[in-house]
Structure 1
Amino acid sequence: MKYTIPKMIVLGSLLLTALAAEAKTWRVNRTPGVHADFTQLQLAHNNAEVRAGDTIYLEGAEDLYNSFALSKRLVIIGTGYFLAENPGLQYRPLMAQLGSLTIDSSASGTELYGLKISNLYINSDVDNIRIIGCSTSLNGNTSRLNQRMSNWVVNKCYLYSVSYSGANYVFENLQLTNCIIASSVNVPYASNTLFRNNVVSSVVTLANAYVANNIFLTNSTGLSFVNCAVKHNLSSTNNLPADNNNQRSVDMTTVYRGAANGTAETRFQLIPGSPAIGAGEPVNGVTPDIGPFGTPDPYRLSGIPPIPTIYALTVPSAIPTTATSMTVTVSTRSNN
């Protein structure tokens, strides 16, 4: 096939445009001596070459990364959290930690994986956010009014609290599943919320939600469900509806390992004979356990992201001066 010069120029321009539009990946590492693309997330975010849809790998470091304001749709992947408590998951047990993260509406569509964030704030009209395997507290930004958020997925996270208590914080289509929540959940202004397979250690306030397969560890007045379907849950006190296969006043020493026998995460793994085993509402044809480790996509220790990781590395401590090669063993897993 023959092309005229003008046609070749047009085809070449289209090819260059397509290549420029492809999402790129970038490295951020603040450790001195490490040659990464950037040393801070904000520097990467503000760089014109980092475009919406790109992926940023935030690598583990000894110190916190600076707090960060996000106004561009990105995929940000960290290394996980509680790595020292769960040895063998990452070769270098350094977390990718942020002081705080504030998400603006122009960052709608952002995905976060494996990050340790002290506080995660949102401004108004932030939609289609995915937070997978992160450790953080979810809070509204009290300086903004009339915040509406839709289509959020919060999955397999270790959350210190979830607080969107004012009428200014309206969630639509929030999914909060397979999470460990160390304190309270307060989302009284929402519609079409899915709250499933979590464990919550304190007060829960939900409205217009489907509440199933959860473990609640609170006092007798600590649960408030307004216009909610509440099914197949388990509670330490008599504060759940008596119907819909809910289990009330359960002795928690018969349910999971407990603090004396596990870490902040593994303490909630079920023990043999637990009344939570096989007691959940069926999900996609499978009858799961109650709690965060139930369902075919359970809570993952340390929030290890779904990308390949190196969990072991063996390098000779010394080699002969005459050697022309050496053997290095790298152990990896896919984490899919």
Structure 2
Amino acid sequence: MNIRSIISVISISVLISTAMFGKVWIVDNNPNGVGNFTTLSAAHNTAISGDTIYVYPSLTAYAAITLTKQLYIFGSGFDLNLHGGQATTTVSSIYATMAFNNGSQGSVMAGFDGQFGIDINTSNITIKRNDLYAVDIAGSQTKIFQNEIVQNFLGGAIVIRPGGYSDILIANNKIVNLINDGNCDGIESQNDAIPTILNNVVKITNTTTSYALQNLSSSSIVINNIVILGNVSGNAVFQYNMANASQFPAGNGNIINVNMVNVFDDPNNYETGWHLKPGSPAIGAGQNGTDIGIYGGDAPYVDGGYPGIPAIYFIDAEVVGGPGNDLNVIFKAKSNKE
């Protein structure tokens, strides 16, 4: 099975949808901020479906909200102090859990820090380039890609709930579970779910009772992933994956019993160490000769989580406008690749 068409269609759909902006709102909780609002909640209440919300970088995190409208919400990225290339190292952080409920179909969220949670309770939601602790999926046509998902609590980093959800893409994510007891998985699926899992790197601390990939149905597609630590269960289509032991079946391009020291710059450092080192056995070993892991495939991981739009790092305005008034604003922004 060729994954290029899957990624290409998804990438094009995200590009088209995020280009069809309605009105743009600015959320800024900095002292003397010049945005339209200081909270996401206020912006959500005023915005209509199709609008875009830029969340300005701040030292104070923004409270999460429940979405019931189709919105495009963008922050400045995450771990900017580690990866550079931006005009600021201050990030747009979220705390608590962002929920996507009925009415929010078609929403996109990208570029946020804060180790927050995501609850998806509807279809056609895109979560990309965020620093999260967990994603809970109860909806089809869900796209989770280019995120850093580090679970510090009991439970899975990505959980697909029962309900027969399909057309779920989980691609090019760092997935880490740091809990050393209980059931603390990487990706938990269901027998009736149909996910496509591509180019992720998964590391699980508790390898006794927890799984890097769990309960994958025979309709699941698992290609070009690397399991540093963690068990694998299910009857998925496993192709061109790599693991530290024999978690994947032999053949079909799978590479097993690999010393991860030979694969990554530093397998123990998920923040900056998961680039493939020179001579890595994962280089060119994936489907169609691509690299296995997060920097391979058609949607390579983006260090720093920069959103695929210009990132705002400076705002100047003479007049502060309210929800019913125009706002004259000067923006300074840095362009970012999609």
Q: Identify whether the pair has TM-score above 0.5, normalized to the shorter chain.
A: yes
Whichever residue aligns with residue 34 of structure 2, its letter is: H
Contact 1:177–1:196 (CA under 8 A) maintained in structure 2: yes
Q: Following the alignment from structure 1 to structure 2, what is the Cα–Cα distance between the partners of residues 32 and 70?
A: 26
Whichever residue aligns with residue 292 of structure 2, its letter is: I
Q: Following the alignment from structure 2 to structure 1, what is the Cα–Cα distance between the partners of residues 334 and 99?
A: 33
Q: CA deviation at 1:148?
A: 4.4
Aligned residues: 279
Q: CA deviation at 1:264?
A: 3.0
Pair 1:60 & 2:68 matched: no
RMSD: 2.4
Q: The residue matched to 1:45 in structure 2 has which SS? A: helix
Given the alignment, which residue of 237, 240, 256 partners 1:248?
Answer: 256
Whichever residue aligns with residue 182 of structure 1, its letter is: V
Which 4+ stretches in 1 moved above 6 angstroms? none
Find the counterpart in structure 1 of residue 40 from structure 2.
41
Find the counterpart in structure 2 of residue 179 from structure 1.
173
Q: Which has the larger radius of gyration?
A: 1
Pair 1:201 & 2:222 matched: no
Contact 2:24–2:51 (CA under 8 A) maintained in structure 1: yes
Find the counterpart in structure 1 of residue 146 from structure 2.
156
Give the gaps of 5 or more residues in structure 1.
Answer: 1-20, 141-146, 313-329
Identity percentage of aligned residues: 27
Contact 1:293–1:299 (CA under 8 A) maintained in structure 2: yes
Give the TM-score of the pair, scaled to structure 2: 0.76
Given the alignment, which residue of 87, 94, 100 partners 1:91?
Answer: 87
Q: The residue matched to 2:270 in structure 1 has which SS? A: coil
Whichever residue aligns with residue 58 of structure 1, its letter is: V
Whichever residue aligns with residue 295 of structure 2, its letter is: F
Whichever residue aligns with residue 173 of structure 1, its letter is: D
Find the counterpart in structure 2 of residue 25 from structure 1.
24
Find the counterpart in structure 1 of residue 229 from structure 2.
218
Q: Deviations over 1:287-313 (max 9, x none)?
A: 21000001243100011011234799x
Find the counterpart in structure 2 of residue 297 from structure 1.
299
Q: The residue matched to 2:296 in structure 1 has which SS? A: coil
Contact 1:68–1:98 (CA under 8 A) maintained in structure 2: no
Give the TM-score of the pair, scaled to structure 1: 0.77
CA change 1:310–1:28 in 2 (3 A) is: closer
CA change 1:190–1:292 in 2 (3 A) is: farther
CA change 1:189–1:40 in 2 (3 A) is: farther
Q: The residue matched to 2:82 in structure 1 has which SS? A: coil
Contact 2:310–2:333 (CA under 8 A) maintained in structure 1: no
Q: Deviations over 1:245-287 (max 9, x none)?
A: 1111101111010157xx53331100111100000012xxxx2
Pair 1:73 & 2:70 matched: yes
Given the alignment, which residue of 111, 117, 121 partners 1:120?
Answer: 117
Question: Comparing both chains, which one has the higher relative contact order based on Cα–Cα distances under 8 Å and sequence gaps of 6 or more?
Answer: 2
Give the gaps of 5 or more residues in structure 2.
Answer: 1-19, 152-156, 178-185, 205-210, 315-331
Q: Following the alignment from structure 1 to structure 2, what is the Cα–Cα distance between the partners of residues 22 and 305?
A: 15
Q: Deviations over 1:64-123 (max 9, x none)?
A: 1112111111000110011111122x2121111111211111111110111125333436
